[in-house]
Amino acid sequence: MKKLREGEKKRDYRMRTANMIVRDTLRMMRGVIVIERITGEDIRIMIARYRNKQLRYRIYRSALKGELSAVIDTEYQYL
């Protein structure tokens, strides 16, 4: 059960962040969301800058692709 709760928290956090991004963009008169594709190589390049092992691991394991898809889904809801 604990894993399910953690997954729900992560999903809720992801959706709240996506909602905030889309709402702030819509509040501005000329707000535009630009999304680029992130590959595994891009993430490795981002990690190469940091020397802290924990920070590198956290960036690598972060759900960047999931966050981008949540932003796209939320954007379609508001259109």
User: Pick the residue with more confidence: 62 or 8?
Assistant: 8
Domain extent for 58? 2-78
Specify the pLDDT at position 26.
Answer: 84
Q: Which residue stretches of the chain are H helix?
A: 2-27, 40-48, 53-61, 64-78
What is the pTM assigned to this prediction?
0.65
Domain count, the chain: 1
Specify the pLDDT at position 75.
Answer: 86
- Angle between helix 64-78 and helix 2-27 axes, rounded to 10 deg: 50
User: Which of 13, 19, 4, 23 is CA-nearest to residue 63?
Assistant: 13
Query: 1-50, pLDDT tens digit by residue?
Result: 566 687 788 888 888 888 888 888 888 877 788 888 777 788 788 788 88
Specify the pLDDT at position 27.
Answer: 84
